[in-house]
Amino acid sequence: MKADQRLDCIGLYCPMPIVKTAERIKQLKQGQVLEVVADDIGIKGDMPAWCEATGHEFLGLEAAAGEIRVYVKKTHD
């Protein structure tokens, strides 16, 4: 999936990927996509929940070789 920005959360555990996502999403423009790369599997459940709470759109996740990539579309400022 194509993304406008990439956030590296390899080696970080809950809640840091979510805390960093919340910070980074501020830098994106509305409609842009953020790719978060993590290796803590907690992100599989955490990111959809974060999107539901904040209203941003969860576009999906790709898991490969111990790496989880999740995609979030910024829907509002």
Q: Which of 14, 33, 37, 61 is catalytic?
A: 14
Binding residues for other proteins (CB under 8 A): 11-16, 18-19, 21-23, 49-50, 53-55, 76
What's the rounded Cα separation, in Å, for the pair 12 and 5? 18
Q: Active-site residue 9, yes or no? A: no
> Which is nearer to other proteins, 2 or 77 (by Cβ)?
77
Residue placing its CB nearer to other proteins in the complex, 23 or 67: 23
Residue labelled with tokens 């960093």: 20
In this structure, what is the dihedral angle of CA atoms 43, 45, 47, 52, given to the nearest 10 degrees?
-170
| Positions marked catalytic | 14
